[in-house]
Chain A
Amino acid sequence: MKKSRVQLSLLFISLLSGLLVSWQWHSRLVMAQQENHKQPELISIIESLEKEVASQENTISELRNQLENLQRQKKQEKTSTHELQKRIETLLPLVGLTPVTGPGVIVTLDDNTAGAQAAKKSSPASYRPEDFIIHDRNILYLVNTLKAAGAEAIAVNGQRLVTCSSIRCVGTVILVNSSRLAPPYEIQAIGNPEALEAAVQSSIDFTLLKNRGFPVKVTKSNNLTLPAYKGSLPAEHMRRI
């Protein structure tokens, strides 16, 4: 009884094993058959495509990383150049490199041709032509007066004044920013019109010219537009500390 039960189970196990072995064998056979029957070219093409796609995907993730790094770097540079640009843009008008508008005054100075003719006729011996023309210093000192009264931008006959501008004469020709000017001279200054007018009216130069019969006048304006300085800003010798 006991023996037969053991034998029965052994038989069962052996049967199962046999089945499994044959199944395994069959599977291998099927695989071999498949290899024989299906297109090996197609399979190898697919396999090589899979490899290619995998390496492409690697390349793409690498490229994305590089791009991201570069863009991060660029963004930092961009913010710093953006800041530089902003600082430059605030300085340009203050230096005088952009046209500017605002209220202010126009001071007009002209040679005293009427006085000159009269003097020539009445006393030709003591006639001195330089007594009847506007000199560079008349303009220079009036410009200084306007600055002292808070002028924020000044132009003389369309020549915008900057830090390194000079006003002087060569012979009887007045040069501003090394450009030749001809009378009448028109000084435009932007600032508080009342303060600028008062400063000009009470200045020695303007008063003297007026008293000597020069056609000079100062007029307030609500809306002046001054051109930009077009010359160079020399900086060959100086360095910022």
Chain B
Amino acid sequence: MNNKIMLALTLVLFILGLLLSLQFRTQKLLASSLEAQKTEDLVIMWRNLNDKRNQLQEEIAKLQQQLSVVAQEAEASPEAERAMEKELGRLEMNLGVVPVKGPGITVTITGEAPLLAEDLVDIINELWASGAEAVAVNEHRINFYSSIGRREEGNRLYLTVNQQKLLYPVVIKAIGDPHTLEKGLTFTGGVLDNLANLFNIHPVIKKEESLQLPAASPPRWQYASPAK
């Protein structure tokens, strides 16, 4: 008898618990559901949402525009960077602060008859006039700042490049079109013609497919400054 009652009680309490939880859920749903809201509130919500949607739409448009601008710039900039690298390379090569390679000619002068500093200045000048792109004398890369001189040591006379003496054989390397460079030096009445006639100096010219020229140290200004 007692057992039976306990069983009934348990059953009833179980159902009660179930009902309670169901009610709680329903009640919660009811409170947050749109259906439970007053019409005026719904209209306010609708207006708010509409405003928000429009704002977000504007924001999206702005972001998309920004993105396309940035993307375009990002696309253009590798090209700009490459162009700048090319420009930098051109300047460095012209200034002679980087080693370079290319076709050209070598002019070899053995020391049997002494060469004057002026002769070397002439040869280098003629090479530039003939379209040389880079010139080196022995291991000295020639640029605007290079000077040719001479120095007496004991009873020997040395040619110098930037006050550093040159040992024979003096080998001048010039990069450019080999044919044009050779013609520039060898025309009748040209530099080498004069050397041969006047001093019996016969430099040996050789066309080369690939020459390597060393770099000069970067120049530094003490007196000059870029004009504004």
Contacts and interface: CB of A to CB of B under 8 A. Distances in A.
B34 A238 contact: no
Interface string A188-213: 00111000000000000000000000
Interface residues of A, number: 95
Contacts of A162: 94, 144
B88 A141 contact: no
B157 to A, nearest CB: 15
A13 B13 contact: yes
A84 B85 contact: yes
A173 B53 CA distance: 79
Given A163-B96, A163-B143, A74 B73 contact: yes
Interface stretch (B37-45, B106-114, B195-203): B37-45
Nearest to B128: A166
A96 B94 CA distance: 10
Interface stretch (A21-29, A114-122, A179-187): A21-29
Contacts, number: 264
A158 to B, nearest CB: 14
A38 B222 CA distance: 89
Interface residues of B, number: 98
Contacts of A237: 102-104, 133, 175-177
Interface in A1-45: 6, 9-10, 13-14, 16-17, 20-21, 23-24, 27-28, 30-31, 34-35, 38-39, 42-43, 45
Contact of B16 (A16, A64, A92, A190): A16
Contacts of B186: none
A49 B118 contact: no
A97 B95 CA distance: 11
Main secondary structure of the interface of A (DSSP, over half): helix
Contacts of B78: 77
Contact of A241 (B35, B53, B101): B101
A165 B129 CA distance: 7
Interface in A90-130: 91-104
A230 to B, nearest CB: 14
A168 B125 contact: yes
Contact of A30 (B30, B176, B221): B30
Contacts of A131: none
B180 to A, nearest CB: 10
B99 interface: yes
A174 interface: no
B225 A102 contact: yes
Contacts of A95: 91, 94-95, 144
Interface in B108-133: 117-118, 121-122, 125-126, 128-129, 131-133
30 contacts: A10-B8, A16-B16, A17-B12, A24-B22, A34-B35, A35-B35, A38-B34, A38-B42, A39-B42, A49-B46, A53-B52, A60-B56, A71-B70, A74-B73, A81-B77, A84-B84, A94-B218, A94-B219, A100-B224, A100-B225, A102-B224, A104-B223, A162-B144, A163-B143, A190-B224, A192-B223, A238-B102, A240-B92, A240-B93, A241-B100
Interface of B: 5, 8-9, 12-13, 15-16, 19-20, 22-23, 26-27, 30, 33-37, 39, 42-43, 45-46, 49-50, 52-53, 56-57, 59-60, 63-64, 66-67, 70-71, 73-74, 77-78, 80-81, 84-85, 87-96, 98-104, 117-118, 121-122, 125-126, 128-129, 131-134, 142-149, 163, 175-177, 212-213, 218-219, 221-227
